[in-house]
Amino acid sequence: MLLTSVNQTKQLIVGRSADCQTADPRRPPAAPDCRSSRSSLFPVPSGRIGGSAVTDRRPPASCPTTPEAERAVAAARPPARPSVRPSVRCAMAPLELAMQGLAVFGLVLFLVLWLMHLMSIIYVRLHLHKKRSEVKQPFAQLAGVSLLKPLKGVDPNLISNLETFFTLDYPKYEILLCVQDLDDPAVDVCKKLLGKYPNVDARLFIGGKKVGINPKINNLMPGYEGAKYQLVWICDSGIRVKPDTLTDLTNQMTEKVGLVHGLPYVADRQGFAATLEQVYFGTSHPRSYISANVTGIKCVTGMSCLMRKDVLDQAGGLIAFAQYIAEDYFMAKAIADRGWKFSMATQVALQNSGSYSIGQFQSRMIRWTKLRINMLPGTVLEPVSECFLASLIIGWAAHHVFRWDMMVFFMCHCLAWFIADYIQLTGVQGGPLNFSKLDFAVAWFIRESMAVQIFLSALWDPTISWRTGRYRLRCGGTAEEILDV
């Protein structure tokens, strides 16, 4: 029995040596099998001698235990995964979840912003600057209009702007010129036009009526109380119109419409400050303004608004809005709350102020942002709708989800945004631009760079300087006047 066990052990050793030899001598030697190396470290029984197990502790002949072989075996092994402590893994989970949430937000932001681009571009091409001089219905044909014109001071374009209202081609309307102070130089301008156009139904109201903190409402109160028609057109002093502008407005005032407003834009003027304003009111502003109105959100700027007087009277008249600085927003809200619809004119509300500068434009944007923050809490998300910040967020999301190069995506996204804005600007203009493509590029870049700074400035100081007064805003849109002691 002892001899038989020894023979079996020899046969096992010879068999293993034969298995490790290569079948073809021309084939390059294979890397040592780490399983054979393990078998030499953890031997298995190969027989029994006298009731005890006999094991083979020698490594196979073709798997030498040299340093080179051990390095080859180590290189062939897959890299070991670093162990992560449970506490570190628990701390990383919220961070990973936050990054995934930010990536989803970036992708959704991409879809929303480009949907806004498409809606505004298509709407401008289909709706604005369409010739619709014919009267739609007898109501519009018979309706008289009372034009309320608030005036404060003069600028080089005031008399030419006002004169366009005296030459309107409309059968039945009146002009109610409202000036707060008797010594205001605008009084002489009004008297000059009244003498030049004696056949136009126009009146001058001086002194105003103190009913609240809003100086515009205080100035308009005498004219509003003296209006004799049921359609009231409130139009700022810096607006100029075409002869058929009022016809276009009344055409939009159908049976279910309670307010007709014009998309704010800027007339062609000289200087880079004018170009900057024109770029803003032709790109960023109409994108949000039009997309909001198309989706049913009531967004109205009171530069040029035609409203039903009886509906305003149901809401309390102009005096009910004297506690607000943004009276146009709350007037529109009161009309919408009573079930009336809004309509946008096919002609833009053309601003043609004779006094303009980059500083004035910046102050105006800061004032508007302060009002939106106090009235609409969602305005805190407004910076992510601007090109540069939105492109950074969306570029990071594309890198996180699709592993795309973030900076390449950022540059491509900004370029696409730039092209879309230029297309929209040409649509709002309705004709050739008054400046070159290079001027547009410079003005566009400066305007986009100012966006976040304007928003932060609005957050920093909640007070508003408007006309000759300073006001402190409260939540909900109301305000109180700050009196200098």
**Which residues does the annotation mark as catalytic?**
328
- The structure tokens listed for 152 are 């404060």
Report which of 252, 266, 303 is spatially closest to residue 133, judged by C-alpha positions.
252
Q: 3-state DSSP call for residue 79?
A: coil
Residue 423 backbone dihedrals phi, psi, to 5 degrees: -60, -45
Residue 376 backbone dihedrals phi, psi, to 5 degrees: -125, 105
CA distances from 18 to 14, 21, 57, 102, 477 (A): 6, 5, 17, 62, 93
Length of the chain: 485
Q: By the 8 A CB rule, do 244 and 316 touch?
A: no
Number of Cβ within a 10 Å radius of residue 222: 17
Q: 3-state DSSP call for residue 312?
A: helix
Range 28-32 contact pairs with CB under 8 angstroms and sequence separation of 24 or more: 29/62, 31/72, 31/73, 31/76, 32/62, 32/63, 32/64, 32/69, 32/72, 32/73
Using CA atoms, how far apart are residues 466 and 463, in angstroms rounded to an integer? 10
Residue with tokens 């932060």: 456
Q: By the 8 A CB rule, do 218 and 180 touch?
A: yes
Residue 316 backbone dihedrals phi, psi, to 5 degrees: 110, 0
| 177 bridge partner residues | 149, 204
Residue 419 backbone dihedrals phi, psi, to 5 degrees: -65, -45
Residue with tokens 């130089």: 185
Query: Residue 296 carries which side chain, given as an amino acid letter?
Result: G
Q: By the 8 A CB rule, do 34 and 73 touch?
A: yes
Q: By the 8 A CB rule, do 120 and 286 touch?
A: yes
Query: Residue 197 carries which side chain, given as an amino acid letter?
Result: Y
Q: By the 8 A CB rule, do 185 and 154 touch?
A: yes
Sheet of 239-240, strand order: 239-240, 349-351, 264-266
Q: By the 8 A CB rule, do 447 and 281 touch?
A: no
Contacts of residue 479, defined as CB under 8 A and 6 or more positions apart, other chains included, come to 213, 323, 324, 325, 464, 471, 472, 473
